Amino acid sequence: MQERGGWRQNWQTKALLATIAIFTVVLTLHADWSRFNLDEWGDMPENYAWGVLWQWGYFKHPPFFAWAVAAWFSVMPHTDFAYYAFASLNMAVALYCLWRIALRYGGPDYQLFVILAAVLIPPLSFQAIKYNANSAMTPVWAAVFLFYLRGLERQRWYDAVVLGALTGVAMLTKYHSAVLVFTLLIHALVDRQARSILLSWFGLITAVASIAVFSGHAIWLFQNDFRPITYAASQGDGSLVLIATSLVLFLTGMAVYLLPAVGLAVLLRAPNDGYPLVWLEGLRKLRETVTGRALLAFGILPTILTIILAFAAGADLSVVWVLPLYVPLLLLVGLLLPPDLIGRYLRRGLVVVGIYMVALLVAAPIYKESIRGSDIRNMTVPVARMSAALDEFWVETAGDAPGFVVAGEPILANSMSFYSRHHPLTLEANSLEIAKGHMDKAEIDRRGLMVICRAGDEACLPLATLLTQGKPDAVTRPFTIEGFDGERQWPFVVTMVKPQGR
């Protein structure tokens, strides 16, 4: 087992780096060629709409992943392709960190296998196209564990600073990262070698850096009634029957998602290869070193802690909570292959991954065509076209005044924030109470307002009346946008109030 490793420019390392680079491009193209909208749930425009508010928190989640999106689009064009490229690069960072972790546990053949297996599993490939708090955790968790290993190896002060900062970032990405923090803390306390490091200046620096990074959000939580924590706890009705059912689906889903990696491992074996059907020596050897025991803890404890947390909070379990957990699971799967055997058929894995990438590209336009007339969730709502039309309506009403406030149905309002050339700001949760830290009635009057609803939406339309109460210059108009199938017409209603004084 290797504790450290460098840039070994053998063919395996070159193939590994090429795989990451090509996969990043393929994933971006697959996303762009297979979708009409960024995502059917509206998470991706919501990320942006939150991020450009630059707050220390939002009513559903802590802020880091939204900040990352806002920072990306401060320099990139507001296009779907650029967003997919960002989501793909997010996974590329995760794969790079996975490689740097893998070189501590095996040679070049093992490292390449782990990356090939990662490319094949849904959580790190096409499922990661939808960038949100869950997929954002994957590279962060991988980076945290990488620097945890570096700390165990050398105890350098700058590694402690980075580890602490990354731990804070993990918590700023999603609170579920607490299971990672507790996992590493449990390992550091239980493992004698790790405990001496935890209780040294290294552990102190790590803790101080982590607290410093998280402190701004902690203050925000106190000032905003712990809204994201309340939201997280509300995910489920608390029924033990439903939680137990979700547990079965959760564990089944984790196993199913890992099947392509297991299948690749099976492909690299051969009958009568001289090894037992299940080779466990690689896993047994992990117990011999502190970094090996750390990997075992990382691979096992987060799942257990997630289940305990769900039952304690009365929340339904979801497999998407543990997307980053596939980082250690892939490493463990790779250790089920005998080191002197793994390279014998490794080129088969390259062929399989090549075929998989081609299939992603070929299937993309076919899938897109199949959903062209679909009415499932928000897959085909023409939000970009709607935003272009509303830009023209806004110019007619208020001129080119930028930075107005937009509210209404969340996916419509958030999409307008993303696509509009006027760079409007979304009224968070359509609530002045929730947005009180950065938006009030006077600010809306100063900026101007747009409320967007689907025609006939009885939940959304009263919002326009409420927000424009006492505004005699409010303008309401219906409009329709042609759908992607060239036949369906999507009816909307927009209410606009121009900025005060215009």
- Cα 321-110-197 angle, rounded to 5 deg: 65
How far apart CA 281 and CA 279 sit, in angstroms, is 6
pLDDT of residue 108: 95
Average pLDDT, the chain: 93
How far apart CA 247 and CA 210 sit, in angstroms, is 31
pLDDT of residue 246: 86
How far apart CA 93 and CA 138 sit, in angstroms, is 9
Its pTM stands at: 0.94
Residue 471, pLDDT above cutoff 90: no
For residue 278, the 8-state DSSP code is S
The residues pairing with 453 across neighbouring beta strands, listed in sequence order, are 493
* Four-residue CA torsion sign, 431, 433, 438, 443: positive
Residue 235 confidence class, pLDDT cut points 50, 70, 90? low
Phi and psi, residue 473, nearest 5°: -90, 10
Q: Give the type of residue at 387.
A: S
Q: pLDDT tens across 450-460, in order?
A: 999 999 999 89
How far apart CA 365 and CA 32 sit, in angstroms, is 9
Q: pLDDT tens across 56-71, in order?
A: 999 999 999 999 999 9
Residue 320 confidence class, pLDDT cut points 50, 70, 90? confident
- Cα 4-21-88 angle, rounded to 5 deg: 105
pLDDT of residue 472: 86
What DSSP assignment string belongs to 324-383? Answer: GGHHHHHHHHHTTS-HHHHTTTHHHHHHHHHHHHHHHHHHHHHHHHHTTT--STTTT--H
pLDDT of residue 237: 61
